[in-house]
Amino acid sequence: MGGRYPNGDFYFFESQLSPEELNILEKVKTWTREKVTPIANDYWNRAEFPFELIPSIQDLNIISLKRGQGYSGLLAGLVTAEIHRADASVGTFFSGQDGLFTGSVELLGSEEQKQRFLPDLYAVKKTGVFAITEPNAGSDVAKGMSTTAEKVEGGWIINGAKRWIGNATWSDYVCVYARDIADDQVKGFIVDTSTEGYAATLMQNRIALRAVQNADITLTNVFVPDENKLDKADSFKATNEVFKSARATVGWQAVGLQMGILDAVLEYLDERTQFGQKLSSFQINQSKVATIQGNLIASQSMMAQLNRLQEQGEDKNEHSALAKAHVTRMMRESAALGRELVGGNGIISDYKVGKHFCDAEAIYSYEGTYDINQLVVARSLTGESAFV
């Protein structure tokens, strides 16, 4: 394949990493190239999770690079991007383990809870997922949450249902958010999935992130001991720090998906000919490729600046909301352009671009839809809230 930028680092963001961090990123790139990319489409088409990758993920030691290991946020973001570049389903497992679940423990747990849960989570000896969305409550879950928690002697009884919970069919733990019937406040709980009354049913017929085992969860009189109630999770407002971090992670996911789209498109255009010429030589195709690259660089630049704000302690909810909304919007455009460039073959899931095109729809939708994140940003600009 021709071109001077085969690694996708068009504006040289990787040059900002230390030699040690570059070594970590190169190990991740090698892993995705040798272990993930060759099997990703097959597992996606079969809607099965590649459990064979878990041991190699453990060996990489890349969970909580920023918070737990003290590396830069840029490294953590680029690692997230590289995994999603290869496969967004494997990337979603990584980000769920690394961000939403561990983030809930790190940001809302007591010191005792951190010591008890985090080492095995970082080592991927145990797995955890995050459960807040419900069958009838998504963007309005703050007010519309129907899952309840009732205080009893020695713990809590949880009843309710959650939906779209990734890999909940096989995870060891689920971080469940439920409304306390005593004070009407949303609180967080670590539920052991072996507990009586917990059930997870695989959702069928999904068109995105098919290798992720999204599940419908039901909780029927599930007992959670007091020590598994997240110490600082006493209101929905407390979850904002988790969501703020998660939205930033989703932005890096969208960066990675665009990298994967560009890889697949350049490979296809270089190999296929029409009218006696490579597809890569046609002006209209080159214009679309340049637009994808422009979207990717704009996305990387926004995420890199958001990371700087995070490291300076100056990031607000509206900063992560703006990044999540617009980076995923650009990703969606890049996915559509990539699908166009591959033509009819972009509709077949055997091709990488078709998979990326479908996966983009999930990333665009979760951790706050585009419209909700737009309203979060506009609220900070106008001083008026357009939603309750």
Per-residue pLDDT tens over the stretch 288-329: 999 999 999 999 999 999 999 999 989 888 999 999 999 999
Question: Which CATH number characterizes residue 62's domain?
Answer: 1.10.540.10
- Whether 162 and 138 have beta carbons less than 8 Å apart is answered as no
Which whole number is the average pLDDT over 184-207?
Answer: 96
Q: Output the average pLDDT for the chain.
A: 93
DSSP for 182-210 reads TT--EEEEEEETTSTTEEEEEPPS-SSST
Per-residue pLDDT tens over the stretch 333-369: 999 999 999 999 999 888 899 999 999 999 999 988 9
Which whole number is the average pLDDT over 135-154?
Answer: 90
The structural domain count of the chain equals: 3
- Whether 62 and 23 have beta carbons less than 8 Å apart is answered as no
5 pLDDT tier (thresholds 50, 70, 90)? low
Q: Are residues 368 and 264 in the same domain?
A: yes
Which whole number is the average pLDDT over 32-39?
Answer: 97
C-alpha separations of 204 from 137, 180, 201, 213 in Å: 20, 31, 9, 9
Q: Are residues 258 and 353 in the same domain?
A: yes
From 123, 144, 176, give the residue that closes a domain: 123
- Whether 331 and 254 have beta carbons less than 8 Å apart is answered as yes
Amino acid sitting at position 213: Q
Check residue 292 and give its pLDDT: 97
pLDDT > 80? residue 33:
yes
Which whole number is the average pLDDT over 146-155?
Answer: 97
388 pLDDT tier (thresholds 50, 70, 90)? low
CB neighbours of residue 218 within 10 Å: 17
From 88, 123, 158, give the residue that closes a domain: 123
- Tokens representing residue 342 in the block: 């591959």
- Tokens representing residue 363 in the block: 């990333």
From 108, 123, 138, give the residue that closes a domain: 123
Q: Are residues 285 and 193 in the same domain?
A: no
Q: Are residues 204 and 117 in the same domain?
A: no
> Which residues fall within 8 angstroms of residue 91, CB to CB, at 6 or more apart?
80, 83, 84, 253, 256
How far apart CA 53 and CA 309 sit, in angstroms, is: 34
Where does residue 184 fall: left (phi above 0), alpha (psi -120 to 50 degrees), or beta otherwise? left
3: in domain: no
How far apart CA 247 and CA 139 sit, in angstroms, is: 14
- Whether 162 and 130 have beta carbons less than 8 Å apart is answered as no
Q: Are residues 80 and 132 in the same domain?
A: no
CB neighbours of residue 315 within 10 Å: 19
> Which residues fall within 8 angstroms of residue 299, CB to CB, at 6 or more apart?
251, 254, 255, 258, 327, 330, 331
Per-residue pLDDT tens over the stretch 277-286: 999 999 999 9
- Tokens representing residue 303 in the block: 């995420």
Question: Which CATH number characterizes residue 223's domain?
Answer: 2.40.110.10
Q: Are residues 135 and 227 in the same domain?
A: yes
Domain containing 147 equals 128-235
Check residue 137 and give its pLDDT: 77
> 114-134 burial by CB neighbour count: b if 16+ within 10 A, else e?
beebbeebbebebbbbbbbbb
- Whether 167 and 124 have beta carbons less than 8 Å apart is answered as no
Q: Where are the beta strands (DSSP E) in 229-385?
A: 273-274, 277-278
374: in domain: yes
239 pLDDT tier (thresholds 50, 70, 90)? confident
Per-residue pLDDT tens over the stretch 49-76: 999 999 999 999 999 888 888 899 999 9
